[in-house]
Amino acid sequence: MIISSAKPFGEVLELLKDEDDIFIIGCGACATKLHVGGEPEVLDMLRRLEEAGKHVTGWCVPSAACSVASFDSLVEKDPSIKDAGCILVMACGSGVSIVSKVTEVPVYPSNNTESLGGLSQGEVFPELCAMCGDCKIYYFGGICPIGQCPKRLLNGPCGGSIDGKCEVDPEKDCVWELIYTRLEKLGRLDLLEKVWVCEEG
Ligand code: SF4
Ligand code: SF4
């Protein structure tokens, strides 16, 4: 099981300060067991966001956020996701990453992902989320450089990529190329102006 904890609600609100028409996605696996992304927590988040003046278009709790296969599978659960201006994922960083892959709007994490918590019987995607404990994947368009860049660069790229490929593993795309492309598509290249001065976590 992947261990994640809820960010303080004030931090979630700050992340969503410029957003409205929010769609909430929970997780029927780890986050449900930990009470940080099951149906009760999703409904509580919905209530608190609405009390804070935000409009929530809808919500769903797929069997596991990290196994969402397509945008259509989310539409099947709640068609109002098509009206969403952004998505809040109440799951681990891998779930945020997977949801970002199948959607075209900004995706925000409500949780911090911390560890594997011992034996895992489900699928684990360490390449998507390195479980740093302070999820900032939103700043990278839903593509985590801590998990996906071999140098774990928060202020990338390293300058070594050739034709968009990673200099450490030329079989793979440079994750910073992917981050740039995604943020450009979202119209949020401004997020790259932030300079990270802390170590991960
Ligand atoms: S920033 Fe990356 S490593 Fe940290 S919790 Fe989020 S997805 Fe995982
Ligand atoms: S080429 Fe890109 S993915 Fe590879 S180490 Fe450099 S910044 Fe990271």
**pLDDT reported for residue 1:** 80
Cα(95)–Cα(23) distance, rounded to whole angstroms? 15
CATH of 3-138 given 1.20.1260, 3.30.1490, 3.10.50, 3.40.50:
3.40.50
Segment 156-166, tens digit of pLDDT: 999 999 999 99
pLDDT above 90 for 181: yes
Going by alpha carbons, the residue nearest to atom 7 of ligand 1 is 93
pLDDT above 50 for 29: yes
- Tell which one of 172, 174, 180 to mutate to probe ligand 2, the residue whose CB is within 8 A of the most ligand atoms: 174
The structural domains of the chain, with segments of one domain joined by +, span 3-138
Question: Is there a contact between 98 and 65 (Cβ–Cβ < 8 Å)?
Answer: yes
Pick the residue whose CA is nearest to atom 1 on ligand 1.
135
Q: Kindly report the pTM of this predicted structure.
A: 0.91
Model confidence pLDDT, tens digit, residues 89-137: 999 999 999 999 999 999 999 999 987 665 545 556 777 899 999 999 9
Of 146, 173, 176, 177, best ligand 2 pocket probe by most atoms within 8 Å of the beta carbon: 176
Q: Which value, to the nearest 10 degrees, does the dihedral of the CA atoms of residues 47, 48, 51, 53 take?
A: -110
